[in-house]
Chains A and B, each alone.
Chain A
Amino acid sequence: MIDTGQITIALAGNPNVGKSTIFNALTGSHQHVGNWPGKTVERKDGIAHIGDRVITVVDLPGTYSLNAYSSEEVIARDFIIHEHPQLVVAVADEANLERNLYLAIQILELEVPVILVLNMADMAHKRGVEIALDRLAERLGIPVIETVGGQSTGIQRLQETLLQFTDHTRPTTPVRIDYGPDLNSALDTLQTEIEKHESLSRVYPPRWLAIKLLENDEDLSARLIESGHQSLLEHARQISEQIADQVGDDTETLITDRRYSFISQILGGVLKRPTQTLETRSDQADRFVTHPIWGVPIFLVMVWLIFQFTANVSAPFLDWINGVISGPLTRWALALLGVVGLQDSWVEGLVVDGVIAGVGGVLVFVPVLFFLYLAVALLEDTGYMARSAFVMDRVMRMIGLHGKSFLPLMVGFGCTVPAIYATRTLEDENDRKLTAFLTPFMSCGARLPVYVVFGTAFFGAKSGNLIFAMYLIGIAVALLTGLALKRTVYRHKSPQPFMLELPPYRVPNMVNVLRQVKGRIKDFLRNATTIILASTIVIWFMLALPAGKDKGRFNEVQANNSIFGSLSQGIAPVFQPAGFGSWESAGSLITGFVAKEAVVGTMNLIYVNETASAADGESGTRFTEDMREIISTFGEASVLTVQETANIVPRTANLIPGVHLPEGDWLNQSEDTVNTSSLETALTVAFAHTAGSDTRGKLAAVAFNIFVLLYVPCMTTVAAMRHEFGARWMALQIAYTLALSWIAAVIVYQGGLLLGLA
């Protein structure tokens, strides 16, 4: 600490009021940073040279009050009481003066000279806040100065006023709060008693101590007990009880309330806010957006738009990455393996058919996830996400939860694991359990690649409809499950309503949005290069190893005779009633337990022989041609992305019966020529073969997607469930999701057959 032996002043204020900018403006570079003795709270001291004065400035920790609820509050008030600064500069945020004055008047009660600084005045003026400074100064009985700390505006005035104080040429008569007859009388009694104890009145301002005793200040009570003043404490307690009996409220609440009343009284006619801040534009928009009736359709339109982006706008780049991975990249890998002499070896099979097909098959979905995460981040940043809690409150109440439970469910659209942890924000333990139980039904980003592959394979340009349907079915199943649980297991009381701070609508900050998207995509890529890579390698070996000596040789065995094929065949009959009883489908679902992205990765390993297609090229001789192809198809994908963005408008309008707006086809690619990858082609053939016909195959594909949507979540989610709610709850979740997904898939397939859909 810097000790000049000169004048010491303290800066006090709420957190985030720009106190540091005032400190810096006063002290420049003459600063010392350390900790308060025995605390981890930072202490900043500095030297201000004002005129011929050298003043030590101590920056107190930011606090909302001096009530000793936190170590910061104890430090701040102890410094003022015990270190006797000549002056306290109370820094307040001018735009939030009502709250900030609470601390300022508590400092005044410590009977120390105070200057009130209204900082961030520029921001307050922009928001239309006007303050009659002279009237405020007159009412408080202390100087009031407006500043913009960051621009040093008002600092000279502050310095001049500081000098007047340190020269004792500025007399002040601080206002005293009128706590009302009952409390005033009690305070007078206690003050008189405290004044009789010299050891106390020498240290503490008697009236302030009286107030603190009626506020039942625990820190001071402990100190008074330590110094042998139990009788004073007992007397204060008796007085408090008497007042509480008379008035019907405890003295701490009464004192706090009267301080706020005093602030309102002081600011009456002094502070003017523009009338529109009473009901902002956001409030007006919310009348429509969070309307009990219109809110839900608006929410559904939002979800529809998200999945239009996810399915259609991302499709051109999905195709582009798929083309690059299965074409040039595979050819280059083959050429490289040839150079090191591994051509036609099992290593070539592992790298090309295993790693590139499996991991590459998952990486192609980066554009899909980019658009999903972009849409979700935009909803968050614009402030709409918070509104979903309001919109869905009525729906959630039907299942005994409140709208706040919908927020963890929304998080589940990204990843189920943080969604389960997000239930910690719920007050009621039963609400938590029930909400967590429902989160796996909210389709996470990892399941999206499955829908995209099947959507494109079986529904072409209308794949967005399948994806949208999957998400809605997930929400519907979550609600129905909640309803069933509410009527059976969770017959608990209705949840308490909540009060929410809705952030104002704003234009999204694209830097923040893209940072968030980048973080989520990075997480997906990390998964792809760790869990998916590892599971791909394991599955490749299981596919390369024969199930018996008579089944073939390593890396030359037919997939259905491999260990993986044999295992999968063992459970495949279970799925026969759902129309996808092939070992390939069963095997993919098994790996989906590790991570849902692995479903597509496994299908790529099983269904697609990438080596064959890539080897058709003359590897190693067409690098320039490959690069040209990559660049030209990238340009094409960019144009198509813009086209698909524009097509959202007609596609959405076409949902209205009777409306048929034409969709753009800038590169003359009709629906018939929609790109399908080799996996998608293989899937249509395989599902049709298993189910018995093309239309049955389509129905089985929908049933398969339903199963993927509802069946047991990935192992990380299961672990999170166990961590939060225990092994029994986890086991129940696994059993329920497995049973439900199977029943739902069978109902979809068999129901579709009965209805003549296939």
Chain B
Amino acid sequence: MTTTLRQVLSAFETTKTPRTLNQLARDLGIPLNMLEGMLDYWVRKGKLRESKDGVACGTCGGVQGCPFAPKLPHSYELVTDDSPPEECSHKGCGCR
């Protein structure tokens, strides 16, 4: 039997178009806040990647310091082999 957790991951593997978390929660028949917990599980397991908050440029003190730092929406996607580096190599940069 496929678990709901597996169905969450499988939704990422099979979908062809972007979807909202609300849509996914509705399709799986679970509350949004429970879905977020399940997504966090897969993020911790390294199967999904989560993007949230902004990304600051290397010339300022960080997300809060840069007036142009984008307020990017909270999103998840499958982790593939060629993930970008998690840490910024720029010394003194407050970005992710």
Contact = CB atoms under 8 A, between A and B. Distances in A.
Interface of A: 64, 67, 69, 95-100, 102, 247, 249, 252-254, 256-257, 260-261, 263-264, 273, 278-280, 283, 286, 380, 385-386, 389-390, 393, 402-404, 407-408, 410-411, 414-415, 417-422, 424-430, 432, 496-503, 516, 519-520, 522-523, 716, 720, 723
A404 B69 contact: no
Contacts of A283: 20, 22
Contacts of A419: 70
A72 to B, nearest CB: 13
Contacts of B95: 421, 424
B12 A496 contact: yes
A211 B57 CA distance: 44
Interface in B13-28: 15-22, 24, 26
Nearest to A96: B33
Contacts of B78: 427, 496
B18 A393 contact: yes
B77 A723 contact: no
Q: Could you say which of B11, B68, B78 has the most chain A C-beta atoms within 10 Å of its C-beta?
A: B68
B49 to A, nearest CB: 6
A429 B80 CA distance: 10
Most chain-B CB neighbours within 10 Å: which of A389, A411, A432?
A411
Contacts of A411: 68, 70
B57 to A, nearest CB: 4
B56 A257 contact: no
A716 B66 CA distance: 14
B36 to A, nearest CB: 6
Contacts of A402: 18
Nearest to A444: B68
A520 B67 contact: yes
Q: Which 8 residue pairs of A and B lie closest in terms of their CB atoms, listed nearest first? A: A519-B67, A386-B73, A257-B3, A96-B33, A98-B34, A501-B74, A498-B77, A99-B33
Given A380-B71, A404-B18, A516-B67, 19 more contacts: A102-B37, A253-B3, A256-B38, A279-B22, A279-B26, A389-B75, A404-B75, A404-B77, A408-B70, A411-B70, A417-B68, A418-B69, A418-B70, A427-B84, A496-B78, A497-B17, A499-B18, A499-B77, A520-B68
B70 A427 contact: no
Contacts, number: 185
Given A264-B30, A424-B96, A720-B58, A418 B68 contact: yes
Given A389-B73, A422-B70, A417 B31 contact: no
Nearest to A102: B37
B13 to A, nearest CB: 9
A315 B78 CA distance: 47
Nearest to A282: B22
A540 to B, nearest CB: 27
A12 to B, nearest CB: 16
A426 B19 contact: no
Given A278-B26, A418-B55, A723-B90, A502 B20 contact: yes
B58 to A, nearest CB: 6
A522 B67 contact: yes
A404 B50 CA distance: 13
Contacts of B15: 497, 499
30 contacts: A257-B4, A257-B5, A279-B22, A385-B73, A386-B72, A390-B20, A402-B18, A410-B70, A411-B68, A414-B68, A420-B57, A421-B55, A421-B57, A422-B72, A425-B55, A425-B75, A427-B78, A432-B84, A497-B15, A497-B17, A497-B19, A498-B76, A499-B39, A500-B75, A501-B21, A501-B74, A502-B21, A502-B73, A523-B67, A720-B59
Interface string B41-68: 1001100010100111111000000111
Nearest to A402: B18
Contact of A253 (B6, B17, B67, B82): B6
A502 B80 CA distance: 23
B19 A421 contact: no
A410 B5 CA distance: 34
Nearest to A70: B44
B18 A498 contact: yes
Interface centre among B4, B41, B45, B73 (most CB of A within 10 A): B73
B45 to A, nearest CB: 8
A477 to B, nearest CB: 22
B68 A427 contact: no
Contacts of B34: 98-99, 260, 263-264
Contacts of B41: 253, 256
B46 to A, nearest CB: 11
A520 B68 CA distance: 7
Contacts of B12: 496-497, 499
A497 B18 contact: yes
Nearest to A257: B3
Contacts of B40: 64
B68 A523 contact: yes
A668 B44 CA distance: 66
Contacts of A424: 55, 84, 88, 95-96
Contact of A286 (B17, B20, B79): B20
A499 B56 CA distance: 23
A415 B96 CA distance: 19
Given A263-B34, A716-B59, A428 B80 contact: yes
Given A98-B34, A99-B36, A279-B26, A390 B18 contact: yes
B6 A407 contact: no
A503 B82 contact: no
B80 A427 contact: yes
